[in-house]
Amino acid sequence: MSLSSIPGRRRRLNKTQKLSVAGISAIAVASLSFSLVPANAEGKPEAQTPVSAAPVVLASVAGTPQVKAVQASIIEQHSTAEQLVKAADLARAKKAAAVKAKAEAAAKAKAAAAAEVKARAEAKARAAAQVKAKAAAERTETQAASRSEARTPVYANNLDGWISQALAIMKAHGIPGSYDGLHRNIMRESTGNPNAVNGWDINAQNGTPSCGLLQVIQPTFNAYHVPGTSTNIYDPVANITAAANYAADRYGSIDNVNSAY
């Protein structure tokens, strides 16, 4: 901001300068006029011819060192005032810029803090969601296992339970046979003894005695063993399913067997 931008300032200063110069000139004229009065002016005035000296005096006074010094002082003061105003404007501008920068820095710091708080909250929410999802998955898995366990029948460890379990496995593998057909052949072959061994027939003479509930020889058991059952020929369920698988291949079904097979 300069002096010229202050309403009325510039015109007032210029007018002051002009008045100051005019005043100095008037003083100089008065002094010169006084010096031109003769020393005997106190006596009777003599008639003199009027002289129009004022313009000459003004012209000569305006260029005197005193006037020039006053003019230079006024100009210097004006220049100093303008510099002070400019310095004040610059200081205000710097202060305003500093205030603005500080406000912007504070706003940026506040925004960064808010963003960090938000990020932490989101991370916490994600972690909680993961924990919740994991717990839900484990709960679902546990429930599924429980349902599966609940659906899995528990068979009695007796002839009835062995036949019932064998029929379930046979059904899963597409092996035909009925409870009656299995029970009838078991009672004829071993009377329900899973450890029964025939030590006198041709198979025994050949070194491969008939074993188990349905009196199966080892080569036949190995060839018709049903996956998922025990590999022990004396295991009741494994023995029944292997014999039923062999009978189905040779006779169509264990139900069609009514004698030694």
Confidence band of 17 (pLDDT split at 50, 70, 90): very low
* Contact (Cβ atoms closer than 8 angstroms) between residue 29 and residue 56: no
Q: What is the percentage of the chain residues whose pLDDT exceeds 90?
A: 56
Q: What is the pLDDT of residue 10?
A: 46
Confidence band of 77 (pLDDT split at 50, 70, 90): confident
* Contact (Cβ atoms closer than 8 angstroms) between residue 208 and residue 219: yes
Q: What is the pLDDT of residue 148?
A: 66
Q: What is the pLDDT of residue 221?
A: 97
Q: Is the pLDDT of residue 241 over 80?
A: yes
Torsions phi, psi for 37 (to 5 deg): -75, 130
Q: Is the pLDDT of residue 44 over 80?
A: no
Q: Is the pLDDT of residue 228 over 80?
A: yes
Q: Is the pLDDT of residue 21 over 50?
A: no
* Contact (Cβ atoms closer than 8 angstroms) between residue 215 and residue 198: yes
* Contact (Cβ atoms closer than 8 angstroms) between residue 1 and residue 86: yes
Q: What is the pLDDT of residue 260?
A: 79
Which tops the pLDDT comparison, 113 or 19?
A: 113
Alpha carbons 226 and 172: distance in angstroms, whole number: 11
Q: What is the pLDDT of residue 60?
A: 52
Give bridge partners of residue 197 from the DSSP assignment: 211
Q: What is the pLDDT of residue 67?
A: 79
Confidence band of 141 (pLDDT split at 50, 70, 90): confident
Torsions phi, psi for 182 (to 5 deg): -70, -45
Would the pTM of this model clear 0.85, i.e. be above it? no
Rounded mean pLDDT, 69-92: 87
Domain ranges for the chain: 3-34+55-103, 159-256
CATH 1.10.443.10 fits 159-256, yes or no: no
Range in 29-38, 100-109, 126-135 the model is least confident about: 29-38
The runs of H, that is alpha helices, within the chain are 9-35, 54-62, 65-151, 159-172, 179-189, 202-205, 218-224, 236-251
Q: Is the pLDDT of residue 41 over 50?
A: no
Alpha carbons 38 and 44: distance in angstroms, whole number: 11
Q: Strand 197-198 vs strand 210-211: parallel, antiparallel, or unpaired? A: antiparallel
Instruction: Write the CB contacts of 4 (distance below 8 Å, at least 6 apart in sequence).
Output: 10
177-227: pLDDT as tens digits = 999 999 999 999 999 999 999 999 899 999 999 999 999 999 999 999 999
Confidence band of 142 (pLDDT split at 50, 70, 90): confident
* Contact (Cβ atoms closer than 8 angstroms) between residue 218 and residue 196: no
Q: Is the pLDDT of residue 70 over 90?
A: no
Owner of token pair 């009672």: 187
Rounded mean pLDDT, 38-48: 46
Give bridge partners of residue 210 from the DSSP assignment: 198
Rounded mean pLDDT, 83-108: 92
Q: What is the pLDDT of residue 238?
A: 98
Of 184, 178, 158, 191, give the one whose Cα is nearest residue 252.
178
Angle at 204 between CA 201 and CA 210, to 5 degrees: 85
Q: What is the pLDDT of residue 62?
A: 59
Q: Is the pLDDT of residue 158 over 80?
A: yes
